[in-house]
Structure 1
Amino acid sequence: MVTHTTRRTASLVAIGALALGMTACSLVGDTGSGGGRSDQEESAPEGPAEEDPGGDDAGAAPQLLGDGSTANTGPQPEQPPAPEPLAPGEEPPQFVVFSWDGAGEDDNQLFSRFRELGERYDADMTFFLSGIYLLPESERLRYEPPGHQPGASDIGYLSDEHIAATLEQLRLAWREGNEIGTHFNGHFCGPTGGSSWTVEDWVDEIEQARWMVQNWRTTTGLTDEEPLPFDYDQELVGGRAPCLEGQENLLPAAAESGFRYDSSGNSLQLWPQQRHGVWDISLQSVPMPGRSFETLSMDYNFMVNQSGEQSGDPAMWPTWQAEMHDGLMAAFDRAYEGNRAPLIIGNHFNQWNGGIYMDAVEDLITELCPREGVECVSFRQLVDWLDAQDPEVLDRLRGLGVGQAPPGGWEAYLAG
């Protein structure tokens, strides 16, 4: 088991019953427009030759990749010890995953706020980067979204200043132990979004997201910026689809693209299972205080249940903030005292209703992550732990219902 006392020192359902899968984008910048463009493969420039990593010399320069936008700098720092199988009769940790859709740094500086908070409270997180957040709008025609005109996007492109700020946060986040996943690119939802995409469409969208991260130095012209300190071919092992749409075709595409997990569906608070060889670790139905239904474990869904898609009465903001906090805390208690299923929480870098959802998440991080037996981890760290477990033990864990404590206690339930 990973514990908070050893991690750093070792260094290193939804909107009522009607719209469980509804989620939002991270609204940064202005919406881009469509148009024709030259072929992306032909326009990709040749990068510099890879530098010699320096053999066994620990102080060697990083190995630049492609055009120098990314670099192989060795194993990721600030990681917990390698996970081990649960011992017979050992209770599992209570995992909590805080994840962020979009992951761009704008003038609200929410990426930096929560990255710093995670570092302070030993909480590793997953930041799902939208690929176009590293693509200037002037270069938007390089993006060819499935079923749309080149350059089209339902979220905005970032300014050069915000691209540089996002790059800085990505570097720091990775070096501090967090994961950089993908929120794909243009955030299309509805009839022309992910729900209508084929497996081949999803593979193409993944490849374009990867290309944008690996070639920002060429597309932005920010040649004085440091490379991202990871090989994105190795770092990118999972994502979350916009609006949680299209998972049935996304899962086989994710497997083909080398993903280890996907968080694009909706589920109950149960232990995850694999589909198409990919861990399905979806958002979950959690209590909605004062209501007769549960909602999805995401800030946007709490908001829509409270004020719709627009900001509501500021006099209600304290009440609504408490509702999200208390609902997610009830979900935590239900798991912690019951089946110990990982609690999956999704968020956006957005100031909806005066930023109350950001404040509620901050309170949860400060309250939950220091607790004994609680591990605030990234999705990648969670699947590392799952992969290390005996499959029969995981089957036993999946046999427990929502909030169901093991009959006879953990020692008896997992004794064999």
Structure 2
Amino acid sequence: MRQPSGRRRRAPATRPPANPRPRIAAYLVVASLALASLTAGYLTLGRPDRTAPTASVGPGDTLNAPGQASGEPKWDGRTRVLGDGSTSYTGPQQGRLKAVPLKPGEKPPQFVVFSWDGALAGDDELFTHYREMSAKYDAHMTFFLTGIYLLPKNKANLYKPPQHAAGSAAISYATDDHIRTTLDELGKAWQEGNEIGTHFNGHFCGKKGGGDWSVAEWKSEIDQFFSFVQKWKTNTGYTDLAPLPFDIRKEVTGGRAPCLEGQANLLKAAKSYGWRYDASSAGDFQIWPEKKNGIWDFPLQMVPYEGGKYQGLSMDFNFLYNQSKGETDGPAADHARWQRETVDAYKAGFDRVYYGSRAPLFIGNHFEEWNGGIYMKAVDEVMAAVCVQEDVKCVSFKELADWLDVQTPATLERLRGLDPAQSPDWSTVVK
């Protein structure tokens, strides 16, 4: 594997002041100490009320243009307000990656996907910050929205979570002000080419969480997510705000389950909605994606940690767990070292595939200022370093699914047979 030599890394972008320390309601995560024994989980986040928290096609086949649903008439250029005015159809999303099949012998692009769980716009202004980073580095991202973040706390009983009492949730409901800021950020993010996915609703984990839910219960959770987005005006009374510029049922084509639990039944449920991918796998090697139950599986990935001593999952909380044992406010004296460890692990994972198999790199995050915001600063540094490199495309999960869907099945099969660090003769892979 050819190694880079002394690539200059840009300084992290300036950041807004940190919010008050958030609480963690529950968590379940262990990054494996060896590839042979991967144990991976996730966390349940809670925010105090004062804070914001298709089958592949062959060369002769065609794929609908991104944003244009099959059988949908050509857009006439007019906005169509939907339902109670909470959402609208403003035409196909602009700026999406144009997916084209690889030419014989062509090296694949290096895809990198940055995704955000919860997607609540709070006082920390992190949603705004990463929209700005997206524009600066031409890096479309995926924002996984939690549905109850658009539901006022005084309407909490409208949420009927599977196996739990009405209105209950493992996370805090958003403040009224943060509902408004989240709506604003969601609309702007979509108009700038980013993707809106789902993080579902109540963030239940463990017993009676997603891992215990039936297919019917997952469908209930999904339908309620759509309802909270489609009826936010009715539920909030905010008639002064413009509708979201997208039809949420057409926009959402995938999600990430809280705590990465329940994927088997979730996939069965998701298929009935025509979803194209799922990002709920607990973790996997850095290999080219494959489908589960006809849906692209986009897992968190194992990246070299502490100089390759072991592999850690590519998500901010997993670094937090390993570095400060889940404590969100560890010793300040350790912050600089922990930030460097995080950056080095992400960059080692990037370099392994960029100079090797070109398998996509997935990095998952939360809008949180844990340990002085070091995980946010690490993402800033990584984004600035990798998204500007030759052949690198920082894309959303939806854009990656678009690209995978236009490659030939034979090419994808050969790509999946590569080891992460393996740099092949591309003429033998892409034919």
Same fold (TM over 0.5): yes
Deviation at 1:258, TM superposition (A): 1.6
Q: 1:198 to 1:120 in 2, by over 3 A?
A: same
Deviation at 1:252, TM superposition (A): 1.1
- SS of aligned partner of 2:207: helix
- Return the alpha-carbon distance in structure 2 between the equivalents of residues 90 and 317 of structure 1: 42
Residue 119 of structure 2 corresponds to residue 103 of structure 1:
yes
Structure 1 segment 97-136 matched on structure 2, within 5 A: 97-136=113-152
Per-residue CA shift, 1:193-249, capped at 9, x if unaligned? 111111111111111111111110000111100100001110010000011111111
Q: 1:261 to 1:102 in 2, by over 3 A?
A: same
Q: Which residue of 1 aligns with 2:87?
A: 70
Q: Which residue of 2 aligns with 1:397?
A: 415
Deviation at 1:28, TM superposition (A): 3.4
* Counterpart among 316, 339, 354 of residue 299 in structure 1: 316
- SS of aligned partner of 1:191: coil
Structure 1 segment 136-147 matched on structure 2, within 5 A: 136-147=152-163
**What letter is aligned with 2:411?**
V
Structure 1 segment 328-347 matched on structure 2, within 5 A: 328-347=346-365
- Return the alpha-carbon distance in structure 1 between the equivalents of residues 45 and 181 of structure 2: 16
Q: 1:312 to 1:64 in 2, by over 3 A?
A: same
Deviation at 1:261, TM superposition (A): 0.2
* Counterpart among 339, 353, 357 of residue 321 in structure 1: 339
In terms of fraction of residues, the more helix-rich structure is: 1
- Return the alpha-carbon distance in structure 1 between the equivalents of residues 45 and 245 of structure 2: 24
Q: 1:106 to 1:56 in 2, by over 3 A?
A: closer
Q: Which residue of 1 aligns with 2:31?
A: 14
- Return the alpha-carbon distance in structure 1 between the equivalents of residues 167 and 410 of structure 2: 48
Q: Which residue of 2 aligns with 1:286?
A: 303
Is the contact between residue 272 and residue 280 of structure 1 (CA under 8 Å) also seen in structure 2? yes
Residue 196 of structure 2 corresponds to residue 180 of structure 1:
yes
- Return the alpha-carbon distance in structure 1 between the equivalents of residues 144 and 346 of structure 2: 21
TM-score, normalising length: structure 2: 0.84
- Return the alpha-carbon distance in structure 2 between the equivalents of residues 91 and 26 of structure 1: 40
- Return the alpha-carbon distance in structure 1 between the equivalents of residues 45 and 126 of structure 2: 11
Is the contact between residue 298 and residue 347 of structure 1 (CA under 8 Å) also seen in structure 2? yes
Q: 1:27 to 1:379 in 2, by over 3 A?
A: same
Q: Which residue of 1 aligns with 2:373?
A: 355
Structure 1 segment 199-348 matched on structure 2, within 5 A: 199-265=215-281, 266-290=283-307, 292-310=309-327, 311-348=329-366
Q: Which residue of 2 aligns with 1:38?
A: none
Q: 1:29 to 1:70 in 2, by over 3 A?
A: farther
Deviation at 1:292, TM superposition (A): 2.9
Q: 1:393 to 1:291 in 2, by over 3 A?
A: closer
* Counterpart among 382, 396, 407 of residue 364 in structure 1: 382
Is the contact between residue 16 and residue 305 of structure 1 (CA under 8 Å) also seen in structure 2? no
- Return the alpha-carbon distance in structure 1 between the equivalents of residues 163 and 49 of structure 2: 21
Q: Which residue of 2 aligns with 1:150?
A: 166
- SS of aligned partner of 1:157: coil
**What letter is aligned with 1:90?**
E
**What letter is aligned with 1:23?**
Y
**What letter is aligned with 2:127?**
F
Per-residue CA shift, 1:361-405, capped at 9, x if unaligned? 011111111111000000000000000100100001001123222
Deviation at 1:57, TM superposition (A): 5.5
- Return the alpha-carbon distance in structure 2 between the equivalents of residues 254 and 15 of structure 1: 29
- Return the alpha-carbon distance in structure 2 between the equivalents of residues 170 and 56 of structure 1: 22
Q: 1:339 to 1:291 in 2, by over 3 A?
A: closer
- Return the alpha-carbon distance in structure 1 between the equivalents of residues 75 and 293 of structure 2: 38
Q: Which residue of 1 aligns with 2:42?
A: 23
- Return the alpha-carbon distance in structure 2 between the equivalents of residues 351 and 282 of structure 1: 24
**What letter is aligned with 1:130?**
T
Per-residue CA shift, 1:69-109, capped at 9, x if unaligned? 0000001122223x111111111000000000000011111
**What letter is aligned with 2:286?**
Q
Deviation at 1:334, TM superposition (A): 0.5
Moved more, 280-289 or 355-364: 280-289
- SS of aligned partner of 1:85: coil
Deviation at 1:358, TM superposition (A): 0.2
- Return the alpha-carbon distance in structure 1 between the equivalents of residues 284 and 41 of structure 2: 13
- SS of aligned partner of 2:42: coil
Aligned residues: CA RMSD: 1.6
Gaps of 5+ in 2: 1-29, 51-73
- SS of aligned partner of 1:283: coil
- SS of aligned partner of 2:303: strand
Per-residue CA shift, 1:320-353, capped at 9, x if unaligned? 0011110010000001111111000100000110
- Return the alpha-carbon distance in structure 1 between the equivalents of residues 107 and 162 of structure 2: 45
Deviation at 1:291, TM superposition (A): 6.3
**What letter is aligned with 2:298?**
I
Q: 1:56 to 1:80 in 2, by over 3 A?
A: closer
Q: 1:29 to 1:212 in 2, by over 3 A?
A: farther
- SS of aligned partner of 1:96: strand
Is the contact between residue 237 and residue 258 of structure 1 (CA under 8 Å) also seen in structure 2? yes
Per-residue CA shift, 1:153-207, capped at 9, x if unaligned? 1111111100000001001000000000000000001112111111111111111
Q: Which residue of 1 aligns with 2:392?
A: 374
